[in-house]
Structure 1
Amino acid sequence: MIFVTVGTHEQPFNRLIKTIDLIKHKGIIKEDVFLQIGYSTYIPKYCEYKRFLSPSTISKLMDEASIIITHGGPSSFVEALQHNKMPIVVPRQKKFNEHVNDHQLFFCRELHKRGFPIKVVEDEGSLYNILGFNNTHLQNKFKSNNKTFNSDLESLVNELFNK
């Protein structure tokens, strides 16, 4: 199953929802797709969807998903990483009236440039290409270092306060 989430920002993200729906319709995506569409006004015809989901439902869907596609809000793609999945991140863009500015685009580009394990997709054509080819590389699980980082940080803080 592919899980797509656009978050809770009040502007529609029709570009992403419509693209995924059409890719599914054309048979490029063979597996089931579940879309969290938020305030999008495009209503999917070929994919299962809900406007909003509880945090526990999102977590469950991310756990079950072979591929996770998110908007450029950090909480969504970081959660995908916490589920040991490398997300495809499609930043909302101002020119499409998806957000008030392009902060998601600039932020995601910078993270990608610094080696953060996300696949940034800026246009629909790239999304077609990524999902249309053998996408097993997208299904590889990402190994998170969160536990090690947190443990090392805790040790450092304890060491600083115990001196």
Structure 2
Amino acid sequence: MPRQRDRADAGRIQLLVAVGTDKHPFGRLLAWLEEWHVEAADRVGLTVQHGHSPAPAVPGAVPFLAHDALQTAMSGADLVLCHGGPATILEARRHGHLPIVVPRDPQRGEHVDDHQQLFARRLGAAGMVALCESRPALHDALAAGVADPARFAVVADPRTRDAQRAAVARVGRIVDGLIAEAARRAPRWRVWGRAARNGRRAR
């Protein structure tokens, strides 16, 4: 059940931001959030799970949320903004949200590889997330969500479990495809690594 809002929350859109538990910082997303929040503070209530990133200068920031607390926050949120982690995206959709997703970028030191980008782009193309890979795109999505949260809602009715199962299965196939693609690439790196080590020994 959604949590009961206190008087301070009345009339405000509740936004949950979740960057997951990965050890890499994700300051880029949090900086974009800080910039946007300056103009939206009076209209938005925040819960921000910032993980291993420095705490952003916004209210409601906590490093981590226990699983039950995260479920409660998702249940009570009007909008969910998150990184490109499959588990976080699935949880958001299960709670009736079309999540606004900013995938981590390994070129910026935000992850070990590009699987979040590949995954989020495929879901974005399928209409299963609102993909944002730039500051303007994120700010536009958040502004649209505050203006009309229903634009970022999906069906989360127990009577439509078949549709939810289909969505989960679709995400599962995408994840399986990414894993298979990574597995196909891995042997070439391992062979190259062994050859390089053998070459050094020969010298």
TM-score (norm 2): 0.67
Cα 1:110–1:102 shift into 2, 3 Å: same
Cα 1:53–1:105 shift into 2, 3 Å: same
**Kept in 1: contact 2:16–2:74 (CA 8 A):** yes
RMSD, matched Cα:
2.4
Where does residue 162 of structure 2 map in the other structure? 148
State the alpha-carbon separation in 1 of the partners of residues 56 and 36 from structure 2.
Answer: 11
- Kindly provide the amino acid, as one letter, of the partner of residue 57 in structure 1: A
Are 2:131 and 1:120 aligned?
Answer: yes
State the alpha-carbon separation in 2 of the partners of residues 118 and 150 from structure 1.
Answer: 14
Are 2:145 and 1:131 aligned?
Answer: no
Cα 1:148–1:126 shift into 2, 3 Å: same
**Kept in 1: contact 2:24–2:111 (CA 8 A):** yes
**Kept in 2: contact 1:63–1:83 (CA 8 A):** yes
- Kindly provide the amino acid, as one letter, of the partner of residue 131 in structure 1: L
Post-superposition CA distance 1:54-96 (Å, at most 9, x none): 0000000001100001100010010011001111011000122
Cα 1:144–1:64 shift into 2, 3 Å: closer
Are 2:15 and 1:15 aligned?
Answer: no
One of 16, 28, 32 as aligned partner of 1:3: 16
Where does residue 96 of structure 1 map in the other structure? 108
Q: Percent of aligned pairs with the same residue?
A: 27
TM-superposed deviation, 1:30: 1.8
Structure 1 runs not aligned, ≥5 long: 153-163
Structure 2 runs not aligned, ≥5 long: 1-13, 167-203
User: Is the deviation greater in 74-83 or in 128-137?
Assistant: 128-137
Are 2:57 and 1:45 aligned?
Answer: yes
Cα 1:124–1:148 shift into 2, 3 Å: same
TM-superposed deviation, 1:28: 6.8
SS at match of 1:34: strand
TM-superposed deviation, 1:19: 1.2
State the alpha-carbon separation in 2 of the partners of residues 151 and 97 from structure 1.
Answer: 34
State the alpha-carbon separation in 1 of the partners of residues 21 and 155 from structure 2.
Answer: 27
Q: After the TM superposition, which segments of 4 or more aligned residues of structure 1 sit over 6 Å from their partners?
A: none
Q: Could you say which structure has the larger radius of gyration?
A: 2
One of 43, 58, 67 as aligned partner of 1:30: 43
TM-superposed deviation, 1:16: 0.8
1:33-112, aligned counterparts within 5 Å? 33-41=46-54, 43-112=55-124
